[in-house]
C-alpha cells in the first residue's frame, strides 16, 4: 500500500453490524449481572462494591459507544429507539 493509498482510506474502522450486535448483547448481559451483584452485596463488602461499580460504569460507557457506532451505520429509517 502506498502512502497515498493510506491517506485516502477511511480513518474509521470497518465494523460488521453483527459483531456490534453481539457486543451490545454481551454488554447488556454483563451490566445486568453486575447490577444484580451490587444489589446483593451488604455494606461490609465496600471494596467489592467499589470494584463492581467501576466495572459497571465501564460497561455502560462501552455500551453507549457501541450503540453510537451502530446508529452511525444504520440508516435513519431503520433505527430503533434504545431504552
- What are 13-57's pLDDT values in tens digits? 677 889 999 999 999 999 999 999 999 998 888 999 999 999 999
What global pTM score does this model have? 0.71
Contact 57, 18 (CB under 8 A): no
* 77's grid cell: 429509517
Q: Comparing C-alpha atoms, which of 20, 23, 31, 26 is closest to residue 55?
A: 31
Q: Comparing C-alpha atoms, which of 6, 21, 3 is closest to residue 66?
A: 21
Q: Which residue has the cell 474509521?
A: 12
Angle, CA 83 vertex, CA 41 and CA 16 arms, to 5°: 100
Q: How confident is the model at residue 7 (pLDDT cuts 50, 70, 90)?
A: low
Amino acid at each position: 500500500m502506498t502512502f497515498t493509498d493510506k491517506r485516502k482510506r477511511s480513518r474509521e474502522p470497518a465494523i460488521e453490524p453483527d459483531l456490534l450486535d453481539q457486543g451490545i448483547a454481551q454488554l447488556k448481559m454483563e451490566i445486568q449481572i453486575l447490577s444484580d451483584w451490587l444489589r446483593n452485596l451488604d455494606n461490609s463488602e465496600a471494596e467489592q462494591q467499589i470494584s463492581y461499580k467501576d466495572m459497571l460504569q465501564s460497561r455502560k460507557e462501552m455500551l453507549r459507544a457501541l450503540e453510537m457506532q451502530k446508529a452511525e451505520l444504520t440508516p435513519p429509517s431503520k433505527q430503533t429507539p434504545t431504552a
